[in-house]
Amino acid sequence: MRHKFQLSKIIVSLFMLTVLTAHSVEARDPQWLQLDPPLTLSDEGFRGVKWCTLLKDIPWEWDALYTYPTACHVRKQEDYTVFGQKAKYLTYTFRNTVFYGVRIDFVGREAVRAAQNLCLKEYPPADNIEKVNDREARWNTASTYVLVTLPETNDGLGQIYLWGKDRKFGDDSKSLVYLAKPPSLNYTGKKYQPRHYVIYRASAPITIDGDINEKAWQDAAWSDAFEDHQSPYAPEPWKMTRVKMLYDDDYMYFAARLQEENVWGHITKRDSIVYYDNDFELFLDPTANSVDYFEFELTCLNTMFDMFHENDNNRGALADRRYDSPGTRHAVQIQGTLNYHYDTDEGWTVEVKIPFADLASWNPNMSLPVRRGDMWRVEFSRVEYLHIYNQLFPYLLPYSRCEDWVWNTVHSGSIHVPEMWGKALFSDMYAGAVKDEELERGFILLEPPKPPKKLKKGMVHFPACTMTLGPDPTDTKHSPAHNVDVPEFRMDRYEVTVDEYTEFLNKGGNDEYYESRMAIPELCGIVKDGPGKYRVIPGRENYPVVFVQQQWALAYAESQGKTLPTEAMWERAAIGADGRAYPWGNEPLDPSRANYDFHYGGALPVGSFPEGATPEGLYDMTGNAREWTISKINPYPGGAEYEYHIEPWWYPGMERFDRIWWVARGGGWTQQEGCMSPKYRNSMNVMDGGIRCVRVE
């Protein structure tokens, strides 16, 4: 009987693969996304909204301020009375924009115990109540997990967690899984440094067949488990993903293991939009300067999509699909049954080898052969959708977004932020028992300099002049040197501080210029207490304000009777009339002069680097916070047009995407060393978008 059952699974799986292959998605045919099979909801939920309800279908009004991370939502005009008790916080969690659970925080043990008694009536246990320890108890209903946690002290915070039991969520854990913290409690207090991985030489030959149990891979170490793309401020992924890396004289090798209880896929055409299936993606920046980097995407059907990026997306140049790596070999093995959702799979493994020569042909500036200590910026991503199961074969849930789990958090909705990728270091040793101890230590955070006791306020005067603007050393193709006339102007000595921006918010009517990430103490430190009511977390007063969008920066400047600089003004102020290499002069860049590339794990108080000041008296023109201008990222005169290569979400006949990209200058504490020239043009606000104002005479 068992053999007959296994045979039937194989027949069904092959049939479904044939059907799906016949309807494979091509890059210009996204019509299949409009299919809308019926969505079955859970039998239970919270306050009349069932688990698995799509966010767009929930009749609640959400507070737009509190949507970071994307899993976390807070209602407007919330009724905080829950289970007969007044809650302090109510936080709703979504997986793939599908309602998953709620965290309810109460003050005091008695309030939690009283709420638990009513919770037992509304969510009666299907079996016994399990006492986890002296403070925790949990039980199951037909469709809900319940966990009650008493506070550590009588007046502390305790919680009741409710989360949905549904196969679409893909786990059956009794432990707390993927529930977001209240925004005001969502901080770590820690400094930040990207992950790193030491790449060793392969200790044995590698056959690309998807089997990653051979000696070479056994000798290589697993990476850290993937995290949410907004970690550490988002819940951890509910499935395990890890990678390994190796190299030899000719190839880079990658292996990945993806936990998956239901392996499914249907896209079989190479260079299709493979991330409409669950997929595994790798990104390689061999020059670690945000230009000329590569992207490879693979599905469980071993379908590959490879692309080249001449610039990061925030400088106008998007994926070039003309790139093909003819020497790349890739394979997948499935630990389970493909496209058969009546059993439970273990997952799938990916194995890839990429010739150095195929990378160098498009990025001739990369260093070859690689040497010990060479560093690449590397990222891995896993695209994960929810599935529906009420039909013959599994299918992604329509109108729900994917989850993006990555090796190294990028703190944004885009993976195309190379400065936020992990750091891969090459060793000349072979993988095995002996480690390269020096490289394994990675990158140690430096002790920050003492902040200035007093800031010399005011502005610095610059007379009108004609200057040479550019070239951007990372992008001479689009941004060559050319002469410009610069008017007379004055520039602030320092970046706008948290204290100054909070004063602006408190003038009233400026709530639109605030977002919830500004409340994170280790990143910014501005807390909103109500409309037009803001306060600074003590100790953060003189740090640069960050998470500022360009339009917000302009609104702040105008409120002070000032404006933002053009990029020509900014560059004139940074390099002076003599065209210095850096704001301080021609001495090389080092962490004693500027805050960049995560050396200090975060922003520092303005003016902390007197050795990096300009001769005219401007501070932090390099690093700390990047500074918005009123210039758009367009090619300089004589530069090539940005090609705007067709990305998967644009199709022939569609109107061209025409977003305005504003120039930001000066790098930031997250910016890599290769992008710290004062002539570097950027348009990104990850965690360090700030403000410096000018007044034009």
User: What average pLDDT does this structure show over 159-185?
Assistant: 85
- Range with the poorest average pLDDT among 175-189, 264-278, 307-321, 432-446: 307-321
User: pLDDT (tens digit, 9 = 90+) per residue, 516-561?
Assistant: 999 999 999 999 998 999 999 999 999 999 999 999 999 999 999 9
DSSP string for 289-311: SSEEEEEEEEETT--EEEEEEEE
pLDDT value at 648 more than 70: no
Residue 658: pLDDT band with limits 50, 70, 90: low
pLDDT value at 379 more than 60: yes
User: What average pLDDT does this structure show over 239-246?
Assistant: 97
Q: Pick the more confident residue, 427 or 684.
A: 427
pLDDT value at 377 more than 80: yes
- Range with the poorest average pLDDT among 319-323, 354-358, 408-412: 319-323
CA distance linking residue 337 with residue 113, whole number of Å: 46
Indicate the average pLDDT of the chain: 90
User: What average pLDDT does this structure show over 421-444?
Assistant: 96
Residue 316: pLDDT band with limits 50, 70, 90: low
pLDDT value at 388 more than 90: no
Write the CA distances from 386 to 33, 172, 532, integer angstroms: 14, 15, 39
- Beta pairing partners, 147: 138, 161
pLDDT value at 104 more than 50: yes
- Range with the poorest average pLDDT among 74-78, 387-391, 571-575, 639-643: 387-391
User: What average pLDDT does this structure show over 588-601?
Assistant: 97
CA distance linking residue 111 with residue 344, whole number of Å: 41
Q: Give me 406's structure tokens.
A: 């990555």
User: pLDDT (tens digit, 9 = 90+) per residue, 262-311?
Assistant: 999 999 999 888 998 999 999 999 999 988 999 999 999 999 999 998 88
Strands (E), 248-373: 251-259, 279-285, 291-299, 304-311, 329-335, 347-355
CA distance linking residue 66 with residue 516, whole number of Å: 6
Which pLDDT score, from 0 to 100, does residue 437 have? 97
pLDDT value at 646 more than 50: no
Nearest Cα to 328, choosing from 301, 370, 295?
295
CA distance linking residue 476 with residue 270, whole number of Å: 33
Tell me, which fold does domain 196-440 have in CATH? Immunoglobulin-like (2.60.40)
User: What average pLDDT does this structure show over 614-620?
Assistant: 98
Which pLDDT score, from 0 to 100, does residue 172 have? 62
State CA 191 to chain mean position distance. Answer: 17
pTM over 0.75: yes
Q: Are strands 422-430 and 196-201 parallel, antiparallel or unpaired?
A: parallel
Residue 438: CA count within 13 A, CB half-sphere: 6
- Radius of gyration over every alpha carbon of the chain, rounded to an integer in angstroms: 27
Contacts of 38 (CB under 8 A, 6+ apart): 390
Tell me, which fold does domain 448-697 have in CATH? paralog of FGE (formylglycine-generating enzyme) (3.90.1580)
Residue 16: pLDDT band with limits 50, 70, 90: very low
User: pLDDT (tens digit, 9 = 90+) per residue, 477-526?
Assistant: 999 999 999 999 999 999 999 999 999 999 999 999 999 999 999 999 99
Which pLDDT score, from 0 to 100, does residue 27 have? 32
Which pLDDT score, from 0 to 100, does residue 107 have? 98
Which pLDDT score, from 0 to 100, does residue 8 have? 43
